[in-house]
Amino acid sequence: MAIVKPEEMNFSDKNIIMIVSGLPGVGKTTLALSAPDVVLIDSDEGLARVKVEHRKDSSIVKTYEELLADIKACEGKYKTVVIDTCGALIDLLKDWAMRNDPKANKASGGFSLQGFGIIKQEFLRLSAELRKNFNVIYLFHAQKEKDNEETFYSLVCEGSARTLVYQPADLAAYMFIQNGERYLGFTPTAQYSAKSAYGIKGLVKIPELTEGEPNDFLTKLFAKIRENLLADSALTKTKQVEYEAAMVAGKALIACMDSPDLVIKTGDEIKRLKHGLTSEKELAALMKAKVKELGYVYNSKTKAYEQA
């Protein structure tokens, strides 16, 4: 096992897994096809609803085995895979599980509780495998639900899979239309589930597509994510340098603290250092331990340290 230091971490080449949910007809598939070098795996027969000029290379699948085979054939040819819809993928997984594992079938007929465990394991395996070679966009239809007069838009997906699908996702956005304009909500609200990361949060407006204009919204968003990850990496390196310098200087100050009257002065000098990451907290703990070791106590009347 190789230990990687924070300043050596760089996630800018990381593939992204993103969930996009929304009511039918809001434009989820067209949005997903704006991702970089994209191929669509259509398990819901929704491709026909996408305008001709926005269609991309696609595969229409009827079984989970077909989906796996077509994804394998796409390796090295595309950067992004869109699964449309992930709710239909879960249905394909149910069919696959019932055909391949007796535990997925109830004795009385129907899908068993153990079957959902099989689906969970396979979905997580598939997501991890896809991430090795592609960005992944899982599309979900949303449905309106009422709870104590509050409206909530949940994923159209069977059972516990509704929450399972968020586990491998880096980002999750609810897509909606407000005052004639489309938005992606990346921050969870009382109305919908979402997931923010890499500096992408809150509401992001989707520009209206005009005739002849490239459909590249998610290509630009993914590029922004990589910029943010690169910036984080550069910042971490800077903070690590500041951390190491502060720790060296702070430890030297603490080592020279050999009388009670130097405690407050040493503390002030440590605070004035240029800190990085956790250096200030760590030095405060080291100084507290040193004061205890030397037997110094604070006198609240004289507002100074003295020998116990």
pLDDT (average), residues 37-48 = 87
- The percentage of residues in the chain with a pLDDT greater than 70, rounded to a whole number, is 95
- The pLDDT assigned to 48 comes to 76
Q: Which residue has the higher pLDDT, 281 or 211?
A: 281
Beta-ladder partners of 176: 183
pLDDT of residue 4: 57
pLDDT class of 12 with cuts at 50, 70, 90: low
Burial of 285 (0-12, 13-18, 19+ CB in 10 A): exposed
Q: Is 235's pLDDT higher than 80?
A: no
Contact 81/110 with Cβ under 8 angstroms? no
Q: Given pLDDT bands bounded at 50, 70 and 90, which one contains residue 1?
A: low
The pLDDT of residue 92 is 94
pLDDT of 5 > 80? The answer is no
Angstrom CA distances, 298 to 183, 259, 271, stand at 58, 13, 19
Apex CA 91: angle with CA 88 and CA 94, to 5°? Answer: 155
**Higher per-residue confidence, 186 vs 244:** 186
Top pLDDT among 266 and 147 is at 266
pLDDT of residue 72: 96
Q: pTM score > 0.85 for this model?
A: no
**Res 166: pLDDT:** 92
pLDDT digits (tens, 9 = 90+) for 167-209: 999 999 999 999 999 999 999 999 999 999 999 999 999 999 8
- Cα–Cα distance, 278 to 6 (Å, whole number): 12
> In Å, how far are 35, 69, 70, 80 from 43, measured between CA atoms?
18, 13, 12, 16
Residue 232's pLDDT is 78
Mean pLDDT of 150-156: 89
Taking 60 as the threshold, does the pLDDT of residue 10 lie above it? no
pLDDT score recorded for residue 3: 63
